[in-house]
Amino acid sequence: MRKLIQFDDDTFDKLKQLGRDRMGTLQELADEAFADLLKKHGVPIDLNDALRKSAAASNAQRKQ
């Protein structure tokens, strides 16, 4: 799926440079940033993460 995101010129230049410095792509930087944002807000980032959170919640309920 392809979506458009708009950055100001200065931010875009810094992101491109960071990608070059890390020998990665802007897409890799975006993937990392969005995964970190989802994790920060407790949203599972993939099926394995969702299953881990579900199992942890289930275990916590059993202990109560």
pLDDT of residue 12: 96
Cα 47 to Cα 13, 21, 32: the distances in Å are 34, 31, 17
pLDDT of residue 49: 85
The stretches in the chain having pLDDT less than 50 are none
Q: Helix (H, G, I), strand (E, B), or coil: what is residue 43? A: coil
